[in-house]
Structure 1
Amino acid sequence: MTFLSLARAALPVGLALSLSACGGLGGGDASSGDRQIEAGAAQRQAEIAERNAGATVAGTGSTRSSLFDLFGSKDDPNTKVEVNKYIWNAALEVLNFLPVQAVDPFTGVISTGYGVPPGGGRAYRATIYVQDPALDARSLKVALQGQGGGPVSAETQRAVEDAILTRARQLRLRDSRL
């Protein structure tokens, strides 16, 4: 056998060994790295699926999955609305001359359109923010704007806030007598 025929026979074997070291034919470090990446991806997908599945069965850690879960409420039944109902109702009563445009009792925001108060000549709009469940002046924020643009005077705004708080206290007293 000559050197040339020996080199021809060794060439395919050398190529096969070099490709297997690169991961082209399986085995080696690259394929174990691929398995680690696939395992990590599978674990991430399982975590995402568990997060999206919703509630877990108490004590078991497994997720429940049935047709009825699609129609059931997944909201926490103990969630409370953090808005003082007396301030909320008083704001709607005091500013009843303003057309209500948006109301969100969960965030405590009431937005109104322009309206003219009884006995007044200038149109106003208001945004009311009830930010605390306490019947307190710090729980109420009122932003008034005149039709001509810009905010109204501080005295007018304070008078509206005082009227709302006074009516809220009256509503609370009325409820306590029942």
Structure 2
Amino acid sequence: MLAGCGAGSQTDYDSYPGSAPGDQRVGTEGRAATKADVKERGGLFGGDGLNIFGGEEKKEGPSSGIGVNSFLWRATLDTLSFMPLNSADPFGGVIITDWYTPPESSDERFKLTAYILGTALRSDAIKVSVFRQVNVGPNQWQDAVVEPGTVTSMEDAILTRARQLRIDSANSE
């Protein structure tokens, strides 16, 4: 009954080519990989090795510490600052707000998700999704249509603020 748990014999390894304990891995040229091949490719964890305790990191040019365009990131946070934040991921470039009810209209609420899609300050690097709900009863909300211009105006406001931040940054240097 426990035969499947036993140590493998040589015949077990024969049914799986290349899996015997003494077999060597084959390189890309059809020959066995040598230590020099592994060293040339950078080893198991790449050319820089495995860095689990911090230490020096190699930087390739200027970096803001986040994975997306820093002007778009700050502009999005500034533009959506009137809404409560649910989550913000600067490395993935996603900002999600919680539901917001405008003071002038207590029968509707909005939620926004902003995606920063790149490191360049361009109009296609920002995408906003707007969700709207209307109140249909006590604590009952129903999804409603968002006016088409709402998304465009939010994206334009974010881009305008990002350009302002970039100009201010260039003038302060």
Q: TM-score, normalised by structure 2?
A: 0.60
Q: Which residue number in structure 2 is paired with residue 101 of structure 1?
A: 86
Contact 2:13 2:20 in 1 (8 A): no
Larger Rg computed on CA atoms: 1
Please tell me whether residue 72 in structure 1 is matched to residue 66 in structure 2: no
Query: Which structure: greater strand fraction?
Result: 2
Contact 1:97 1:118 in 2 (8 A): no
Q: Which residue number in structure 2 is paired with residue 177 of structure 1?
A: 171
Please tell me whether residue 112 in structure 1 is matched to residue 97 in structure 2: yes
List runs of 5+ in structure 2 lacking aligned partners: 1-8, 26-37, 135-142
Shift of 1:82: 3.7
CA distance in 1, matches of 2:77, 2:59: 27
Give the CA RMSD over aligned residues.
Answer: 3.8
CA distance in 2, matches of 1:73, 1:34: 43
**2:21 alignment partner, SS class:** helix
List runs of 5+ in structure 1 lacking aligned partners: 1-30, 47-56
Q: TM-score, normalised by structure 1?
A: 0.58
Q: How far does the alpha carbon of each residue in 1:67-104 deviate from its partner, in whole angstroms, 9 at most, with x for none? A: xx895149965487441111111111111111111111
Q: Which residue number in structure 2 is paired with residue 159 of structure 1?
A: 153
Q: Which residue number in structure 2 is paired with residue 42 of structure 1?
A: 21
**2:112 alignment partner, SS class:** strand
Query: Which structure: greater helix fraction?
Result: 1
Residue 92 of structure 1, aligned match among 44, 58, 77: 77
Shift of 1:105: 1.4
